[in-house]
Structure 1
Amino acid sequence: MSRHAFVALVTCFNADETINYKVTRAQVRRQVEAGNNIMCAGTNGDFTALTFEEKVRLTEEVVDEVGGRVRVIVNAGMPATFETTKLAREFDRIGVDGIAVITPFFIACTQDGLIRHFSTVADAVQTPVYLYDIPARTQNHIEPQTARTLANHGNIAGIKDSGGAKETLEAYLQVSKEVDGFQVYSGPDHLVLWALQNGAAGCISGLGNAMPHVLAGILSAFNAGNIAEAERQQAVFAAFRTDLYALGFAPAMVKRALYLQDASVGASRQPALLPNDEQDAQVASLLRQYGLL
């Protein structure tokens, strides 16, 4: 089975903080040309800063630009089940390959509450739903046993694990071995190859925005059975991740690394970090070191 890389695509903004759809489409083309699939309205897409209407239009524009050439997953997750379901229905209407649902944030959930949340959304749409676990950001964690329960839903196709703990990833991978058709996508960029070697269906990467060809290179080498080359590309990807994320909040650093390669992508919406000359100089120096500038 061929494995797939998705890039958690950045949303591009104009100087007045409105979405720049034209430049966002250009980023879609750049990723498609590199060989990556697209996840939109994810953590790296500033989804918490976008309105309901913007997410719907963003998805329409991305799907139109992709034109069926690669797969598109879109994140519908919001704190309340009601709005998440409403968004998911819109994405279902537009026609995407998967609907990711990040765990609710701000609202503390029990595991039973999470089962109800994800099941309600998955019941409401035809499109396969992917659970999305990122406890450091949402304060809610999908326990492996909960993932196992949800894996038997019928319209829940897998999970994106952005927890960063190898043990949790291993536990989710065990669920995928036991439940036919339940796929695991790894989020942490230093674990891409490890996850593939341990049965993951692929990865969903934020860092791929700044380094699309290396991400695609890990996957194409792995799919071709060239593990030495996959290891070489993974080493570059992991080292760049370590160096870049040492400078600040990861999604903000990815956006700056991309901005310094192509200023048309714009900054993030406030109250995200403001551009900082000293930090930009450090990021630019890294980009030069990795041959990206």
Structure 2
Amino acid sequence: MSRNILRRFVSKWKSYRYRFVPWIALNLKDRSIRAVPTGSSDKIITDQTVEETLLKLFAALNKIPQNGTGLNSATSLDVMMKVMGFKVERATSQVGGTGVYVTDGMVPKGTVLAMYPGAIYFPYEPILLQSISNPFIFRCIDGILIDGNDKRLSKVVYRSCSKRDRLGPYMTCDVSWLTSHLDNPIALGQYVNNHSKKFGANVAYQEYNVTEDFPLHLMKYIPNVRYSPPSIHEGSESRVIRTVVLVSTRDIKAGEEVFSTYFTMVY
């Protein structure tokens, strides 16, 4: 019994350690990192390219008749293949646990292939309880956190915030990523594993702000929501939503697993 408990602990630690700051600091010398100069926008592709990709995919998804429970995974993947020329799906990783693979087509270099879903927390907002044993906390360069956990308290918080921000008949975020049936087929970036010496990184994270100009009827495919409601003092910034997309750093063929670089240093 004790051995099983120890195995479970070791398994969780191997995943969680990449989010544990003291461990990262002690092990940076042994890790490959992605360096970003101070003040850099850290953009691999332009915001316009990211927006055009999302609008094209979301508009195509929005044309598919829905039965009241959203799209099924097969349908959304078919749309993805038609619009983007490839499919990405979750499967058992080569390094253990869950990973993300290109299952059909080919991803050209400099292409958005996934989004990092989750609730958005500003540095001053409480996230302690949600972060316990949670390996899916993503930290943006400016300190904003995205909780990509689709289970337990994180799931409850996200669902609650999604209902709060609904505007009449319009959903302002995607909730299907909390299930196994994705309306937005690229909302699975939290399951991309860290690269290693054996498996090199083929994608990198890029921050992108969804602005107030983004079509309201397509917001239902954005897999992010703010933890706190927008303030009336924010004006035009009230509909700005922080998202993180994963962009390919080389061509990725069908059958390849997607790996990222968890370590990004800002100098």
Give the alignment's TM-score, normalised by structure 2: 0.23
Higher relative contact order (CA 8 A, sep 6+): 2
Question: Which of the pair is proportionally richer in strand?
Answer: 2
Give the alignment's TM-score, normalised by structure 1: 0.21
